[in-house]
Amino acid sequence: MLARILALAIKEFLVLFKDKRSRLVVVVPPLIQLLVFGYAASFDLNDATYAIYDRDGGFAARDLAARFEGAPSFRAVGRITRQGQIAEWIDARKVLLVIQIGPRFTADLLAGTPAPVQILIDGRNSNTAQILQNDVSRIIADFNRDWILARGLQGLPVTLITRAWYNPNLESRWFFVSGLVGILTLVVTMMVTALSVAREREQGTFDQLLVTPLRPIEILIGKATPGLVIGVLEASLVVTIAVFWFRVPLVGGLDVLYAGILLFVLAAVGVGLMISSLAATLQQALLGAFLFLVPAVILSGFATPIANMPEAVQILTLGDPLRYYLVILRSVFLEGAGFELLIGQMWPLAVIAVLTLAAAGWLFRHRMA
């Protein structure tokens, strides 16, 4: 029995490594995913954009501001000069954090009374917001310690008041569940479309399609339609569960949400059809879909901020449709953003959809020839 098992195992290894494409599948995808994960998957916050609204201007306020300027993980993008700028800069994602120093900050510290400092955090990404809050707390703690040691005081000179916009309690469920709408939509759409043509080839029914009166473009549209319909229905189902079961607030309009869903599903269908056109078997189609799905999720900013990734990896994320879709989902769910704020995310999705569908059509005709 052992001899037969060994002989079968040797035969499977020979079959696997005899095929050049199989050898590439065994070696190349793990190396690519290792590089992607190693550089992109990080919970460190290395580039926290912030602005200071200094209403005091005293030496203590300048000292506190200098500590943020000297922190390697913080990057100042400007100074806020009026209250209305706070909402403008956070809404536009210009900053993740605004530090507001009160008008009597230095005077209160010199008088020995607690001086409040308010931080306003963009809570749309709860992971980033929590890390940011911890980093700010450490800087404030260092300031308090140095102030106490220099003056021999008791108690905490500076008290921290934190407000998280769009997710007041930093509920991680709001962040992850809204992101899952994108991931589950991508998985289902990709699987439906990536297997369609490959399944026909493997079952031997693809040649029957070629002798029908249908033109190649008609066959391609027919293959894309189920993925498009199923993708939209899957997104609708997950959105419904997110709102009514997990109680994630849907602040924005359904018109904006479904415009983003439709563009994303079209892009996912295009990628799936490209994979299906290239694959000769179901196994190759599955491996191709997996090779795309895992890096797409990692590079999308679902769990780790794109700003923390190296610049070369950030460039790669520009071709990831899930990156734009997650921003649309979370902005509509938590912020109530409209078309005017999300047009910068929708047009790249439209470009990706056009390019991938066009490439899938060309590959489809080329493989039929």
pLDDT of residue 352: 93
- C-alpha 57/C-alpha 267 separation (Å) is 51
pLDDT of residue 258: 93
How much helix, strand and coil, in percent to the nearest 5, is found in the chain? 70, 10, 20
- C-alpha 196/C-alpha 275 separation (Å) is 10
pLDDT of residue 351: 94
Contact assessment for residue 97 and residue 78, using Cβ atoms and an 8 Å cutoff: no
Handedness of CA 15, 19, 23, 26 (dihedral sign): negative
**DSSP type of residue 332:** I
What is the mean pLDDT for each group of 10 consecutive residues in the chain (369 residues)?
63 60 58 54 69 88 87 85 86 86 86 83 76 84 82 65 70 74 82 75 67 69 80 85 84 91 92 84 82 86 77 87 91 86 91 90 71
Contact assessment for residue 91 and residue 341, using Cβ atoms and an 8 Å cutoff: yes
pLDDT of residue 15: 56
- C-alpha 185/C-alpha 218 separation (Å) is 25
- Angle separating helix axes 254-278 and 196-203, nearest 10 degrees: 30
- C-alpha 3/C-alpha 148 separation (Å) is 77
